[in-house]
Structure 1
Amino acid sequence: MSEEMLWKGATVTEREREREREREREREREICRLHDTAKSLDEASSHGQTDTDKYLVCFREISNVLGCFGMVFGFVTKDINAKIEILQELREKNALGWELLPRDCSLMCHEFSGEAYQFLENMVEAEVANNTTTLPRGGRSGSRTLLRLHRALEFFVRFLERVLEIADDDSAAQAAQTAYR
């Protein structure tokens, strides 16, 4: 018997089928990790404030899940990772106690003393109070970055909803296109 078999209307080797099964198992593992992370974040947010570090862990898992779906999500994954890095950098610098810079300072990154970035709500309040939510090109506003991450999250949720609705012969790319609209 030949190593090639008919699968989904195309001739593929058993090795290719096994690679596809492994990719599917990896997607399932990522989704389970994402579920556990989201549950942890939900528990951490139950007191009314969202821990920034746990929030970023959750978004790293979202990025990992999207990465499992292949190159079609490369642009989304890259964007999410860039936003995570911005918030992580702001969080780390803030944890070191950098001082608040005046709005007209030539530096493009405003930092807050204390733990303003420990919780997302505190970060937004501090940036609104100090008028640093909109910065010149190249500036790093945590609030603006957070908004963009939430847009990515909305896309991710719509995508998962579409994945549940697609037929077996449809592709993840079709679900992504529908979710993006």
Structure 2
Amino acid sequence: MGVKSKAAAAILVLLLFLGSLWLHGGLDYHWDSCLKGYNHINKFHQLSNSSVADAAEGPHVLEGCPGQTFQVSLLLSHLLAAPAYTSDVLLQPYLSSWDELVKFMDALGPMVGLISKEIESKTTVIRQLAQQAAENPEAELEPDVHSINSVSKEAGTKNDVEGSRHGDAYHSVRSMIWTELDSGLVDFHQQTDSGCRTLLRLHRALLWLQLFLQKLAEIPVAGRPRSPSELCREAYKSTLAKHHTWFVRRAAELAFIAMPERGFFFRLVCAQNQEELSAMLNRVVQAIGVVYDRTQKALEENGMLDLP
């Protein structure tokens, strides 16, 4: 094997290792056992011109982009379908949003795509927990809403409590939190395969992608626009990097170097220019912000922002 081949192999091994470390900043143990999740039926492919669509700065849903696996229109529709009640998030459209974001990352090339595999394994964890709860409803514990911090008498949470109690254990972010706290599945001192811990890792990654898309949507005032590689690296340093070790941060730099140039993103969403790209991405960024803020509030109210 030549020197170049050995170097290429070494980089590939390094990036594969990065994929396993990406979200947690260390080895997330025995995730392979969770990879056999159930087949998720997507019920959110279509969105009518309703008040939900109005939340994304206009009544019209984005059109599909022929020839692309990633569809920004589907991503937006899932994100708009996720908020529920006054401050809750429905898990099915939330996870469907991640399905589309995984396709987005896969489209950026094999090096960035390696990162998406770890994210995909985490959505599988939550779906597997949801399937187990659905198959064994008698084993579910009814959430004791009077003992949970997030459902105190604070104004604005009553609708979330009543609404989520009528769903199954993994109907929403808050119903999952209540159920897992009552069942003792969440451990605040050591790692567990809880949906709450897994959600926290996805939540951190969502902030990174939101900031990256926001930067990509910015229209340069003067001079040549910065490369997507630079923007993604900058977004990473402001978000996920704080949860990663030195080694993972260095490995992430390698993945970002291989990111496509700006013209690729025009084709990815069928945009003709930066103005069209900005209009699309700004709607997505706004929709992500709503989902992120609601998830942040639910996790914070229950002291889950630093789960090991």
Shared fold (TM-score, shorter chain, > 0.5): yes
> What does residue 82 of structure 2 align with?
41
CA distance in structure 1 between the aligned counterparts of 2:225 and 2:66, rounded to whole angstroms: 15
| Secondary structure, counterpart of 2:72 in structure 1 | helix
User: Which of 15, 20, 26 is residue 68 of structure 2 equivalent to?
Assistant: 26
User: Which of 145, 164, 172 is residue 228 of structure 2 equivalent to?
Assistant: 172
> What does residue 208 of structure 2 align with?
155
Residue 96 (str. 1) matches residue 96 (str. 2)? no
CA distance in structure 1 between the aligned counterparts of 2:201 and 2:101, rounded to whole angstroms: 14
TM-score normalised by L of structure 2: 0.41
CA distance in structure 2 between the aligned counterparts of 1:76 and 1:128, rounded to whole angstroms: 29
> What does residue 118 of structure 1 align with?
171
Amino acid at match of 1:38: L
Shift of the alpha carbon at 1:151?
0.6
Amino acid at match of 2:77: D
Q: Does the 8 Å contact 2:129/2:195 carry over to 1?
A: yes
CA 1:171–1:67: 2 relative to 1, 3 Å: farther
CA 1:172–1:71: 2 relative to 1, 3 Å: farther
| Secondary structure, counterpart of 2:116 in structure 1 | helix
CA 1:95–1:131: 2 relative to 1, 3 Å: same
Shift of the alpha carbon at 1:143?
0.3
> What does residue 67 of structure 1 align with?
106
Amino acid at match of 2:68: E
Shift of the alpha carbon at 1:40?
2.0
CA 1:25–1:174: 2 relative to 1, 3 Å: farther
> What does residue 33 of structure 2 align with?
none
Q: Does the 8 Å contact 2:107/2:113 carry over to 1?
A: no
Q: Does the 8 Å contact 2:212/2:232 carry over to 1?
A: yes
Count how many residue pairs are aligned between Structure 1 and Structure 2: 143
Residue 52 (str. 1) matches residue 91 (str. 2)? yes
Shift of the alpha carbon at 1:41?
1.9
Unaligned runs of 5+ in 2: 1-64, 142-166, 238-308
Per-residue deviation, residues 31-84 of structure 1 (Å, max 9, x unmatched): 222112212223xx1455432222211111121122222234224311210111
Shift of the alpha carbon at 1:131?
2.8
Q: Does the 8 Å contact 2:133/2:140 carry over to 1?
A: no
Q: Does the 8 Å contact 2:186/2:194 carry over to 1?
A: yes
CA distance in structure 2 between the aligned counterparts of 1:54 and 1:163, rounded to whole angstroms: 24
CA 1:26–1:81: 2 relative to 1, 3 Å: same
Per-residue deviation, residues 64-109 of structure 1 (Å, max 9, x unmatched): 12222223422431121011100010011111016369xxxxxxxx
Q: Does the 8 Å contact 1:166/1:175 carry over to 2?
A: no
Residue 84 (str. 1) matches residue 84 (str. 2)? no
> For the aligned residues, what is the CA RMSD?
3.0
Q: Does the 8 Å contact 1:69/1:172 carry over to 2?
A: no
CA distance in structure 2 between the aligned counterparts of 1:163 and 1:56, rounded to whole angstroms: 23
1:124-163 aligned within 5 A: 124-134=177-187, 139-163=192-216
Amino acid at match of 2:177: V
